[in-house]
Structure 1
Amino acid sequence: MTRTGLLDEILVTAAPGSTTGILTAGGARFECALGRTGILHEKREGDGGTPVGTFPLRALRYRADRLTAPETALPMTPIAEDDGWCDAPGDPNYNRPVKHPYPASAERMWREDHLYDLVVILGQNDDPVIPGAGSAIFFHLAKETGAGLRPTEGCVALRLPGMLNVLARCGPCTLMRIEPS
């Protein structure tokens, strides 16, 4: 932790091929969901993998119609119904926020399934953006299945109580490090 009490780093580890891992934030540990193909050293668009690497937490977006703004030092913006995130590698706005309707493929940020009620934009493939090297890699809420946490499409996901705990200790200098265990 930094002098201000905010985390310098969040660590996510998983065994190769696993779709769940452990997220460690300070002294707290949480089960997290990972991509449907586990963690990958070389991220490609549509591969379903969570990328290995260290990524800044750029900003938090949240559904103000469902939750009050959580405690965090991250920059924060409410999600609007027309918010999207471009996932078309050939589009000039690839891996960038867009507004719907959008002429190219773009994920909707306003979702009915609650996954993006709290969603942190990770600085993966954004400085610079490389077409095809992965888009929309977020830190968001997890979905439960009868067998545990449902895999993501490449993101890191936590249950709501864990997410609130972690967000309260995050700020603009906090990094997420994802690595094999």
Structure 2
Amino acid sequence: MGLLLCAGQGLPVAIGRSGTAFDKREGDGRTPAGTWRIRELRYRADHGPRPMTRLPCRRTRPADGWCDDRTDRRYNRPVTLPLGGGRPVSHERMWRADDLYDLVLVLDHNSRPRVAGRGSAVFIHLARPGFSATEGCVALRRADLLRLLARLRPGARLVVEPG
């Protein structure tokens, strides 16, 4: 478990099962250390109204996914499911049966430039009960994430300390 500091307040967060590090690799379970710009909010409109925020927002749709296949040209990018092309392509479903992705802040981790194998689908999203570890994301309680969203402005950044 970690701590997110915002406006002088500490919010408990879940982080990757392998902690944090600067040398993030696909599938290593680490939350990437560094400074990451928050690009946009994605939210499930069928699970609640559009949150109050100044960030760019996009509704999550049932066909939304995120490519995490390091051999695919769409690596670490949003995709529409199902993925074609004649071969299986590893991906993350953004429309999940649980509530973890009801609110998702998309970070600019490994986006400029995108480097295959350096980590994909690193988000800020909702935490599981008990703050169990993530696959490399940062996760907060719904109430804390909603309060954070109300404060964030375009260009906001998240700083993840190595640990």
- Alignment TM-score, normalising by the size of structure 2: 0.95
Corresponding position of 2:156: 174
Distance across 1 between alignment mates of 2:25 and 2:123: 15
Deviates more, 1:166-175 or 1:129-138: 166-175
Distance across 1 between alignment mates of 2:97 and 2:5: 28
40, 48, 51: which one pairs with 2:32?
51
Is 1:136 equivalent to 2:117 in the alignment? Answer: no
Q: How does 1:68-107 map to 2 (within 5 A)?
A: 68-103=49-84, 104-107=89-92
Q: How does 1:33-52 map to 2 (within 5 A)?
A: 33-52=14-33
Aligned length: 159
**Offset of 1:46 from its aligned partner?**
0.4
Query: Counterpart of 1:117 in structure 2: which amino acid?
Result: D
Corresponding position of 1:13: none
77, 94, 99: which one pairs with 1:109?
94
Distance across 1 between alignment mates of 2:72 and 2:152: 32
Corresponding position of 2:143: 161
The C-alpha deviation readout for 1:60-114, integer Å capped at 9, x for no partner, is 0000000101011110000000000000001000000001111411110000110
Percentage of identical aligned residues: 50
Larger strand share, 1 or 2: 1
- Alignment TM-score, normalising by the size of structure 1: 0.86
Distance across 1 between alignment mates of 2:79 and 2:41: 16
Query: Counterpart of 1:25 in structure 2: which amino acid?
Result: C
Distance across 2 between alignment mates of 1:102 and 1:172: 31
Q: Secondary structure at the match of 1:55?
A: strand
Distance across 2 between alignment mates of 1:61 and 1:101: 19
Query: Counterpart of 1:55 in structure 2: which amino acid?
Result: W
**Offset of 1:173 from its aligned partner?**
1.3
**Offset of 1:171 from its aligned partner?**
1.6
**Offset of 1:28 from its aligned partner?**
1.8
Q: Secondary structure at the match of 2:47?
A: coil
Larger helix share, 1 or 2: 2
Distance across 2 between alignment mates of 1:171 and 1:36: 29
